Amino acid sequence: MSEELTTVYFVQHARPDYSWEDDRSMPLTVEGEADAVVVAEVLKDVSFDFCISSPYMRTRQTIKPICDQKKLTLKIDERLKERVRGELGNQGDELQRQRWLDFDFHEPLGESMNSLQKRNISALTDILSQHIGQTILFSTHGAALSAILNFYDDKFGYQNFKRLEMFTPYILKVTFGTNQKVIAQNEVLVIDKSKGLD
């Protein structure tokens, strides 16, 4: 009996407007909206059975063109939201590095990587259990996706996270076996914004 494989296309959102104060409603920039169309073009030949996203505006906007094109019903899961930023915000390599060195570390009123990972994996585990053998579109964030990838491969660390941070948007295709183990993964789209940073 052959193993039923489940395919997840993880889409890290396109570039948002970082001047926006509210993290949850932060929209994409005009450039980000254009890149969302690129995401749709790259995925146009993929048949999706299920589509889910973080509740944040930027993740929903990134996959809106492909959802509209394919008439997909978008499900939202609160567990997929980005790491909760604390009083010190998300700034500084030192804070980011500390979070990766100690998964229980968090700034005042912020969220640890451990908490971020647990809720994202909880959601992903439910999705994989309910959609065995299907192809899933999964719109997410940089830290959230990095936490997921670290769960399946503990060698995925701070430097890997910093690499992904530059890719907005980014698509990673991951194939899971029926035991929810990663069988294969392949980068489908990498749009590197590091050269455009001030």
Domain map (residue ranges) of the chain: 6-85+121-196
Other Cβ atoms within 10 Å of 132 Cβ, number: 13
Our separate counts of H helices and E strands in the chain read 6, 6
Q: Is 24 annotated as a binding residue?
A: no
Residue 90 is predicted with a pLDDT of 57
Nearest one of 45, 18, 42 to 32, comparing CA atoms = 18
**Burial of residue 150 (number of CB atoms within 10 Å: 0-12, 13-18, 19+):** buried
Does residue 143 contact residue 82 with C-beta atoms inside 8 Å?
Answer: yes
Residue 154 is predicted with a pLDDT of 95
The tens digit of pLDDT for each residue in 90-147 reads 567 888 899 999 999 998 888 999 999 999 999 999 999 999 999 999 999 999 999 9
Q: Which CATH class is domain 6-85+121-196?
A: alpha beta
Q: Can you give the pTM of this predicted structure? A: 0.94
Residue 89 is predicted with a pLDDT of 58
Return the percent helix, strand and coil in the chain, to nearest 5: 40, 25, 35
The tens digit of pLDDT for each residue in 19-77 reads 998 999 999 999 999 999 999 999 999 999 999 999 999 999 999 999 999 999 999 99
Q: Which H helix or E strand runs over 182?
A: strand 182-192
For 58-134, where are the E strands, in sequence order?
74-76
